[in-house]
């Protein structure tokens, strides 16, 4: 192969790789949106390919199967909400536990308020979990929960494996998620829309959680 032919081959290879990456990314985007709308079981690979304007069989080509694609989707979902690397860095910092928790809450609340497809899919799975989601959480959630429990433990002064810390984690999770999971029309029957404005609600939820943790500390 002469120099000119080699250059043409290299350019063509780059274009193929670039097109492949674009198609792969588009499949992930379109699949995530459909999964968020319809759920895992009611979504077909054919639908995903059609929305992505990709050839039939692209899901299997790039991800091995619909299940393989969904696993990558779930990785993107959990990374969008809270990355393990970020949690580990927060936990390792010399700051007080309360400040560490505030940073975690800021990250989670900002992500959930976005209502991106990753967040909508996460909420869908929480209320109607697929087997794939439960299996994924068994691996992904454990190290994150361990770190958060340790931080809560430092705040309330109870062991990380205690009932108190478990209940604090559950309360915190509920307060962070429910306002963004609930349908706005349903909430409008209870509270004024202005009360659900993201920035205001963000501050209130943080204040409420920290006050609740402080109350547990005082009560001991």
Q: Give tens-digit pLDDT for 84-106.
A: 999 999 999 999 999 999 999 99
What is the end-to-end Cα distance of the chain in Å, rounded? Answer: 79
Q: The CATH number of the domain where 126 resides is what?
A: 1.10.357.10
Q: The CATH number of the domain where 7 resides is what?
A: 1.10.10.60
Residues 144 and 86: their CA atoms lie apart, in Å, by: 10
Ramachandran bin of 64, using left for φ above 0, alpha for ψ from -120 to 50, beta for the remaining angles: left
Range(s) of the domain holding residue 89: 77-219
pLDDT of 56: 87
Contacts of 67 (CB under 8 A, 6+ apart): 132
Check pLDDT > 50 for residue 194: yes
Are 121 and 54 within one domain? Answer: no
Are 113 and 160 within one domain? Answer: yes
- Residue 164's alpha-carbon distances to 41, 98, 103, 105, 157, in angstroms, are 37, 17, 22, 19, 10
Mean of pLDDT values over 141-167: 94
Q: Give tens-digit pLDDT for 176-187.
A: 998 888 887 788
**pTM across the whole model:** 0.82
Mean of pLDDT values over 124-145: 89
218 band by pLDDT with thresholds 50, 70 and 90: low
Are 165 and 187 within one domain? Answer: yes
């Amino acid at each position: 192969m002469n120099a000119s032919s080699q250059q043409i081959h290299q350019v063509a290879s780059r274009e193929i790789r670039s097109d492949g990456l674009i198609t792969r990314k588009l499949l992930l985007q379109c699949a995530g949106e459909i999964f968020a709308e319809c759920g895992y079981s009611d979504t077909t690979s054919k639908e995903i390919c059609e929305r992505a304007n990709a050839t039939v069989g692209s899901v299997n080509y790039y991800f091995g199967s619909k299940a393989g694609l969904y696993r990558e989707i779930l990785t993107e979902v959990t990374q969008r909400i809270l990355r393990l690397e970020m949690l580990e860095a927060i936990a390792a910092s010399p700051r007080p536990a309360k400040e560490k928790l505030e940073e975690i809450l800021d990250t989670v609340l900002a992500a959930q308020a976005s209502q991106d497809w990753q967040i909508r899919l996460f909420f869908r799975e929480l209320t109607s979990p697929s087997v794939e989601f439960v299996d994924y959480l068994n691996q992904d959630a454990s190290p994150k929960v361990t770190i958060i429990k340790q931080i809560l433990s430092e705040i309330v002064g109870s062991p990380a494996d205690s009932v108190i810390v478990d209940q604090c984690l559950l309360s915190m999770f509920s307060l962070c998620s429910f306002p963004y999971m609930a349908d706005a029309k349903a909430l409008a029957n209870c509270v004024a829309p202005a009360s659900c404005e993201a920035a205001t609600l963000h501050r209130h939820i943080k204040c409420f959680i920290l006050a609740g943790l402080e109350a547990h500390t005082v009560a001991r």
